[in-house]
Amino acid sequence: MFKNKFISAIKGFLTNADTIKIASLIGFTCLMTAVIASQNYFFQNIIENGISKRDIIAQKTLTVVDVKRTEQHRKEVASKVEPVLTSAEDEFIKTNLVTMENSIVQIRKKNISDAVKMEELNTLLDLSGNPRKEFITTFLLKSDDASLHEVFDKANMTLDKILRVGISESDYENNDIHLLVVNNMAANVSRRQISIISALLEQVIVPNLVVDEFATEIARKNAMNSVKPYEIIFQKGDKILFEGEPVTRLKRDALRQAGYNVYELNWQGLSAIYVLVFLATILFLGYMKFFEKKFLESSYLAISAVLSVIIALIVAVIPTGFSPYILPIPAYMIMMSIFLNPRVACIATVIMSAVLAAGAQYDIQWLITFILLAVVSMLAISQIRYSRRFDLIKTGFNISIAGIVILLSIYLLEKCLIDVSNILIVQNCVFLFFNGILSSIIALGLFPIFESGFKIITPYGLAELADHNQPLLKRLQFEAPGTYHHSLMVSNLCEAAAEAIGANPILARVGAFYHDIGKLKRPLFFVENQSYFGIENPHTKLNPRLSKMVITAHPKDGVELAKEYGLPPVIHNFILQHHGEGLASYFYNQAVQEEGIENVKEEQFRYTGPKPNTKETAILMIADAVESAVRSLKNPTPEEIESIIDKIIVERLNDTQLADSPLTLHDLKVIAATFSRILRGMQHNRIKYQENLAEEFGKNKIVMPNKILDEDLENKIKQLENRSDDTNDDKKDEN
């Protein structure tokens, strides 16, 4: 008993939806981690414990920078750069000289004895060790004012010259101040004044040249950048590594340039890659949940991501001069854009590029290029006209050009800072150019395979389904011509309305083509076909309940035909939902008249649904009813057309048939205006030609213009369309 309960609990846990989602998330992230990390194990095939296991020969000429030797030389050059000195303290030194002059003048003016004055002057000036101390102090105290001012004026001029030359710390520390003063002495200085000026300036001079650390660092960096890298060249056929040789930094760089992956991944690195992949997956799922929920359950997302990474790594491990710029990231972007939408593709590409760059150690230029290229691709793909497949090749060309512009801009900026090989720039630009074009060709070839495998319809698939030579449409044209003509009219309405409100016009048009294919099973039971075949309405011989069963079965019959002919599931929705759970009111009212209202329930005369749940299927529901109703009128006025459109929309709203659709009231207003415009164009009046017009042309031997012939034929077709019994007008609205 307990064992059975335990087994049931385990089964319940394993089959729980949340458990399956968590398991899928863990499985996907583990698989992506294994694929990304797998390339790091290729290095183990040729290197073991830092020693080469075999000879490795260059398949092409390789130019490798000896980073270690280059860095060593750069450091030597930088160490020889003299510090950059800058002037400072000039005003402070000049001010000190002026202050000294004022102080000496004040001492001279004091009414004190000469001995006291001499003592104060010795306190002011430090003349110890100066052999001419007595002469200097006597001159400063006893000379006349003019001689004193002359000495200080010449001291100021000498100081200006010295400050312009500069006083360094070494000059000051080596007691070279006297020599500096003598060498920069002002003109017309007597020998007696030289010793005095020298003594005065030695009192105030301090170093005015200090080291500018920032300027010195810039000078050293410029010196380092001026050093050209030491390059080692391996010619094609040269051995990069010998068996048993230690793998140095230079050899690793050569192997990397030859196309080998040279990273040894341990468990720490593996864990880091898993965390990165897990976070990237969570971010992407979060975006999808909040902004693109309708695509969240698509298995294409996971499978395409894994396949893209596998292809990228297969290309990466081929030792033929691999460049990451040949990775088919644009092909992934194009495929995602067309299978889902450009916004999802852009986000997915940015996240996958970031994970690849980190896990595979691609440079920052590669990452920036492909992130910006993802945005460019999103805009370019949004403008594709899917009626022409060559437009996709043109888009690939535009992506290539944009990629080259982005990459060149990055390299030009980089060349301002460091030396970048022109050969490398040209090589990567060429790779990127062919990458965009080849990616569009690859995507174009893979579309049918992925459409069939994932049951996802693309605009190209829709364009193929819109071909009127499709077997199902050919059958509709010959077996149910009235339904075929009705479908064409409805498709025009749907396409115009979908484009007006921002829905998918191609999907709306194609869905309208096939929405009534279920009528192929019993075409003569639908009034639009009866007039073409000129038969009596068979419903006159059936009771209302049986007629209702025949009429409301055509959505289910249509889905069966759609499956038989391999139409995608998205078209099934148009077939099932175009009547929703609407009421077959003609047969309901007929049953009420025959059986009494108390014996008839509305639920018995409703379509099985479901209700429309997309903008396109909701548009089809309204267009289907509107076209039938307007066609039943003879020469309707614009006011009558607008009245019918508004009435049908209000009826569908009141009957809650649009409750599950994302249409807003503004959308309905735009749809009504679009339908009115299209239907007024369909119902335009034509010129009534004279019956003997052709005869008159014949008499005068004038060839009748094709335009007149076409309009005459069109009039006859219109008359044939309007040739129906007035008693069947209500039935047309139902079907």
pLDDT tier for residue 269 given thresholds of 50, 70 and 90: confident
User: What's the rounded mean pLDDT across residues 167-188?
Assistant: 69
More confident residue, 144 or 361: 144
User: Residue 374: what are its φ and ψ, rounded to 5°?
Assistant: -65, -40
pLDDT in tens, 659-689: 999 999 999 999 999 999 999 887 655 555 4
Query: Rounded to whole angstroms, how far apart are CA atoms 208 and 423?
Result: 50
| pLDDT for 44 beyond 60 | no
Q: What pLDDT is stored for residue 1 in this prediction?
A: 55
The SS3 assignment for 688 reads coil
Flag the least confident range among 21-25, 494-498, 603-607: 21-25
Say whether pLDDT at 152 is over 50.
Answer: yes
Please, what is the average pLDDT of the chain? Answer: 80
Q: Say what the pLDDT of residue 501 is.
A: 94
The predicted model gives 598-615 an average pLDDT of: 90
Q: What percent of the chain has pLDDT over 70?
A: 81
Lowest mean pLDDT among 129-143, 163-177, 439-453, 470-484: 163-177
Joined together, the tokens standing for residue 137 give 């102090």
Phi-psi region of 166 (alpha: psi -120 to 50; beta: other; left: phi over 0): left
Question: CA-to-CA distance for 165 and 209, rounded, in angstroms?
Answer: 10
Q: Cβ atoms within 10 A of the Cβ of 600, count?
A: 20
Task: Check residue 618 and give its pLDDT.
Answer: 96
Q: Which tens digits make up the pLDDT trace of 356-367?
A: 888 777 788 889
Query: Which residue, 537, 449, 501, 553, is CA-closest to 675?
Result: 501
Classify residue 186 by its DSSP letter: P
- Residue 656 has what pLDDT? 93
Q: Given this model, what pLDDT does residue 612 score?
A: 95
Instruction: Find tokens 């306190």 and name the residue.
Output: 123
Q: Look up residue 53 and give its two tokens.
A: 């296991």
For residue 704, pLDDT over 70 is answered with no
Q: Who has greater pLDDT, 517 or 315?
A: 517
**Residue 511 contacts by C-beta under 8 Å, 6 or more apart in sequence?**
494, 570, 571, 573, 574, 616, 617, 620
Select the more confidently predicted residue: 346 or 272: 346
What's the confidence (pLDDT) of residue 260? Answer: 65
Would the pLDDT of 415 be above 70? yes
Nearest partner of 97 among 108, 105, 85, 87, judged by Cα: 105
The pLDDT value recorded for residue 100 is: 84
pLDDT, residue 579, reads 93
Residue 697 binned pLDDT confidence (cut-offs 50, 70, 90): very low
Res 635: pLDDT: 82
- Location of each CATH 1.10.3210 domain in the chain: 461-734
Q: What is the pLDDT of residue 703?
A: 43
Cβ 735 vs Cβ 526: under 8 Å: yes
Q: Can you give the three-state secondary structure of 286-354, one letter per residue?
A: HHHHHHCHHHCCCHHHHHHHHHHHHHHHHHHCCCCCCCHHHCCHHHHHHHHHHHCCHHHHHHHHHHHHH
Mean pLDDT on 1-13:
59
pLDDT tens figures, 79-92 = 887 776 666 566 77
Of the two residues 450 and 622, the one the predictor is more confident about is 622
User: What is the pLDDT, as a whole number, of residue 625?
Assistant: 93
Give the Cβ contact number of residue 421 at 10 Å: 14
Q: What is the rounded radius of gyration, in angstroms, for the C-alpha atoms of the chain? A: 46
Q: Are residues 324 and 366 in contact, defined by beta-carbon separation less than 8 angstroms?
A: yes
Is 493's pLDDT higher than 90?
A: yes
pLDDT at 34: 78
Tokens representing residue 368 in the block: 């920036």
Q: Is the dihedral of CA 477, 479, 485, 488 positive or negative?
A: negative
User: How far, in Å, CA of 462 to CA of 441, rounded?
Assistant: 19
Please report which residue ranges of 458-515 form alpha helices under DSSP H: 459-465, 471-479, 481-501, 505-514
- pLDDT score, position 285: 87
> Could you read off the pLDDT of 310-319 as tens digits, one per residue?
776 666 555 4
Q: What is the Cα–Cα distance from 573 to 575, expressed in whole angstroms? A: 5
Both tokens assigned to 714: 């069109």
pLDDT in the model for residue 675: 95
Q: Is 350 exposed, middle or buried (0-12, 13-18, 19+ CB in 10 A)?
A: buried
Among the listed residues 241, 186, 252, the one whose alpha carbon sits nearest the alpha carbon of residue 57: 241
Of 94-98, 306-310, 462-466, highest mean pLDDT: 462-466
641 has pLDDT over 80: yes
Which residue is associated with the tokens 């003016």? 109
64 neighbors 253 (Cβ within 8 angstroms): yes
pLDDT at 404 over 90: yes
The DSSP-derived string for 204-263 is: H----EEE-HHHHHHHHHHHHHTSPPPEEEE-TT-EEE-TT-B--HHHHHHHHHHT----
Instruction: Indicate the pLDDT class of residue 720, thresholds 50, 70 and 90.
Output: very low
Mean pLDDT of 151-163: 82
Residue 193 clears pLDDT 60, i.e. is over it? yes
SS3 per residue for 549-613: HHHHCHHHHHHHHHHHCCCCHHHHHHHHHCCCCCECHHHHHHHHHHHCHHHCCHHHHECCCCCCC
- Report yes or no: 344 and 374 within 8 Å, Cβ to Cβ: no
Instruction: Give the residue-averaged pLDDT of 24-37.
Output: 81
Give the fold, CATH level 3, of 461-734.
Answer: Hypothetical protein af1432 (1.10.3210)
Question: Is pLDDT at 732 greater than 80 in this prediction?
Answer: no
Supply the pLDDT for residue 317: 56
Euclidean distance between CA atoms 581 and 613, whole angstroms: 12
Contact (CB, 8 A) for 328 and 349:
no
Alpha-carbon distance of 571 to 259, in angstroms, equals 48
* N-terminal to C-terminal alpha carbon distance within the chain: 59
Q: What is the rounded CA–CA span in Å between residue 98 and residue 707?
A: 109
The answer to whether residues 515 and 578 touch, using CB atoms and an 8 Å cutoff, is yes
Q: What are 234's strand-pairing partners?
A: 62
DSSP string, 31-72: HHHHHHHHGGGGGGGTEETTEESS-EE-SS-EEEE-HHHHHH
